[in-house]
Structure 1
Amino acid sequence: MKLKSKYILGVMSGTSLDGVDIAYVKISQTADDYQFKIIQTDTIPYAKKWKSNLKNGIHLNEEELKKLDTSYGIYLGKILKNFIEENNIKGLDFIASHGHTIFHNPTNKYTLQIGNNPEIATITGYKTICDFRVQDVALGGQGAPLVPIGDELFFSEYDYCLNLGGFANISYKEKNNRVAFDICPVNIVLNHFAEKLNLPFDNQGKIASNGKINSALLNELNSLTFYTTKKPKSLGYEFVLNSIFPIINKYNLEVKDFLRTFVEHIALQIANKIDSDSKKSMFITGGGAFNTFLIERLRSLTKTKIVIPSESIINYKEALVFALLGYLKYEGENNCLKSITGAQKNHSSGVIFTP
């Protein structure tokens, strides 16, 4: 089969609100073999106003949400146009953008990622593929996680692929099918506490490492019903607001002790979901891969070999994989697998806007 290649801008905004990740990548395909090359990357941090607007989007009424949706699309369009111009990018086939999740409640048949309108295509002048989750939810799926298609096509040599972003999600092969699910909140909660100390995050988990575990809080967190429900399953900010914070708010602890307890909660929940086997490997990406203390706790709780890749893959794997989702949509190939999301069928999800 002849080699097919596309040059794509993959765009990702995660629930931890670090900023907009942009990855200019080349994706190539021969038969069923997929390869990638990360050419240029950048993260555009959110200004305080945008961080606040996105964090509070869940509380807006319909009219306010429509305005935020449009303005966020314009914001993305402008920063992507600037990225293209600054890096003198000439060969670009299309943009593939995740948008930013405001609501995610597949049980009640809805999910919303804002910024998935024509604004990006109009402003940049490039075809844009986006809105990858809605179709899957309409087909009875979770609409998440979507990144495991990249684990299947790019990183299948590892037994487990774990992403530590706003939430932890994991994927692996089970009876020759790729399965995946969200495990628990990670940076969306850890950053919340770091911000109480006027820090964007707990650098390398140093603050948490100096704290003490509160056993009562840890036991309450570990007893949440979500952790014993069967896959497929996924999490949204609603879970943090409605289940995590009400438990945490009952306790009067120092920030370092909250952080220490929640790191232990994360490590235990992840360790519970994998086989502790020295012959198996776990590939870890996302901002949490830089949390040295969290990784230490994981190493202590499992014999599974932990693999930390290059910084560009840690930081931009999700942007890369959304470029892949766009590539598969463009080629008319399935980019959502029912074994992962629980949808009625495998399908090719996304909406294409032309300038």
Structure 2
Amino acid sequence: MIKSRYNVIGVMSGTSLDGIDLAYLTFECNKKWTFEILNVVTIPYSQFWLEKLSKLIYLNLNDLKQIDVEYTVYLSNVINSFIDKYKIKDIDAICSHGHTALHQPKKGFTYQIGNQKKIAKLTQHKVVCDFRVQDVAFGGQGAPLVPIGDQLLFSDYKYCLNLGGFANVSFEDNNNRIAFDICPVNIVLNHYSKILGLEYDANGNIASEGKVDSLLLAKLNALEFYKLDFPKSLGLEWVNLNIIPIIDSHQLEVKDILRTVVEHIAVQISSVLNKQTTASVLISGGGVYNTFLIERLKAFCKNEIVIPSKLIIEYKEALIFGLLGVLKLRGETNCLASVTGASHDHSSGTIYTI
């Protein structure tokens, strides 16, 4: 039954492995969509899961399927704990992204673990999940999926920029929503911070003490991906093949690597945003807390940069996957061909009942 009001739980795990974001949400449709974020939590990954998830791309399909079973049980327990903690009673659906194990859309393949039917049984709630597979089957990139939420919930801003494992952007262009991945962000910065025994470079403090290596910067900026037109998306496999070997070949101190990568990120993002110079840019994602990165981005970017509330910064993706689930329940478009390159707009995802 089509309703005007929905209460759902949005669940998101990103490539930067910050943890599992959960948000209890209310959506209401009265000519336009509005939302309320009621309860939120981020569950950090244990060392056990950090190690497993960071190595997914190296596993064969049988091993992946086994981890998928384990992760589905783990994710279900995390969701149940969230429901119990906040005594949540009214749930139309749990809308979960899962965690990306492999993403190779050019080969017609994408795999997100934690999207098995068992999750509905273990949580005893209707589940909407596995949002990327159908889009890839329709010839799309299977990413990014957030832009439909940007369009419906954050239309006051010209650009919606997310700084997570990767930087991605969405905006309106000739009455079409356009979106694509710009460049790696935390997935690279965190990789080199870990060499120093740190999970991340807090506030970009270490990067701020380094020096830009002009030769490395030039090589990074010259990567072929940046010359491609959209739709386009990135994955960990691409980073390991194209970014890490270039950086490691220069044998720099970590602080200089971080400084150069920050500069690279700022250059690539501003090259996209500066195509329109009187626009507002809403920035979300964990990269917002890297104050040095934001400082460098402002130095290159000619637009007004808007940093929203902490709830939006940290839970925007969980919020939007909640909306994707609601749109799927309504049989409405939640995946835009103008964004992913699929053959047509469609309502993506799988619905599991108890």
8 Å contact from structure 1 (residues 267, 301) kept in 2: yes
Q: Name the structure 2 match of 1:13.
A: 13
Corresponding position of 1:160:
159
Offset of residue 162 of structure 1 = 0.3
Indicate the residue corresponding to 1:230 in structure 2.
229
Question: What is the TM-score with the length of structure 2 in the denominator?
Answer: 0.98
Amino acid in structure 2 at the alignment position of 1:273: V
1:240-295 Cα deviation digits (max 9, x unpaired): 11101111110111111110000000000001112265531100000001110111
1:266-277 paired onto structure 2 within 5 Å? 266-275=265-274
Q: Is the 8 A contact 1:276 1:303 kept in 2?
A: no
Tell me if 1:105 matches 2:99.
no
Secondary structure of the 2:299 match is: helix
Moved over 6 A (4+): none
> Is the Cα contact below 8 Å between 1:17 and 1:46 reproduced in 2?
yes
Q: Deviations over 1:66-104 (max 9, x none)?
A: 100111010000010011011100111110000101111
Counterpart residue number, 1:285: 284
Does residue 194 of the first structure (1) align with residue 179 of the second (2)?
A: no
Match of 2:188, SS state, is helix
Counterpart residue identity of residue 30, structure 1: N
> Which residue identity lines up with residue 4 of structure 2 in the other structure?
K
Distance 2:94 2:312 in 1: 19
Name the counterpart of 1:316.
Answer: 315
- Identity rate of aligned residues, in percent? 55
| Aligned residue type for 1:55 | S
- Aligned partners of 2:85 and 2:170: how far apart in 1? 36
SS at structure 1 position matched to 2:29: strand
1:136 maps to what in 2?
135
- Paired with 1:75 and 1:145, the residues of 2 have a C-alpha distance of 25
Provide the residue aligned with 2:244 in structure 1: 245
Equivalent position SS for 2:302: coil
Match of 2:178 in 1: 179
One-letter code aligned to 1:13: S
| Alpha-carbon distance in 1 for matches of 2:61, 2:286 | 32
Ranges in structure 1 where 5+ consecutive residues have no aligned partner: none
Secondary structure of the 2:172 match is: strand
Question: CA–CA distance in 2 between the matches of 1:107 and 1:65?
Answer: 20
User: Aligned pair 1:295/2:320, yes or no?
Assistant: no
C-alpha contact 1:106 1:137 (8 A) present in aligned 2: yes
2:348 equivalent to 1:349: yes
Going from structure 1 to structure 2, the CA distance change for 1:277 and 1:231 (only over 3 Å counts) comes to: closer
Aligned residue pair count: 353
Give the counterpart letter for 1:237 in structure 2: L
Deviation, 1:17, is: 0.3
- Which consecutive residues of structure 2, in runs of 5 or more, have no partner in the other structure? none
Distance between the aligned counterparts of 1:3 and 1:82, measured in 2?
28
Please name the residue that 1:26 is paired with: 26
Between stretches 140-149 and 271-280, larger displacement belongs to: 271-280
Query: Counterpart in 1 of 2:150?
Result: 151
Q: Kindly state the Cα deviation for residue 105 of structure 1 after the two structures are TM-superposed.
A: 1.2
| 2:271 alignment partner AA | N
User: Structure 1 counterpart of 2:101, which letter?
Assistant: I
Paired residue secondary structure (1:299): helix
Distance in structure 2 (CA, Å) of the matches to 1:70 and 1:30: 39
Please name the residue that 1:207 is paired with. 206
SS of the residue 1:273 aligns to: helix
The answer to which of 225-234 and 193-202 deviates more is 193-202
Instruction: Note the alpha carbon deviations across 1:180-225, whole angstroms, 9 max, x for none.
Output: 0000000000011111111111111111011000111111111100
3-state SS of paired residue (1:27): strand
Give the whole-Å Cα distance in 1 for the aligned partners of 2:282 and 2:25: 21
Where does residue 332 of structure 1 map in the other structure? Answer: 331
CA distance in 2, matches of 1:53, 1:341: 29
1:119 Cα shift? 2.4
CA RMSD of aligned residues (A): 1.1
AA in 2 matched with 1:119: K
Tell me how far 1:141 sits from its aligned partner: 0.6
Q: Distance in 1 between matches of 2:56 and 2:228?
A: 28
- Segment drifting more, 2-11 vs 191-200: 2-11
| SS of equivalent residue, structure 2 residue 347 | coil
Q: Secondary structure at the match of 1:196?
A: helix
Task: Answer whether contact 1:169 1:183 (CA < 8 A) is retained.
Answer: yes
TM-score of the superposition, structure 1-length normalised? 0.98
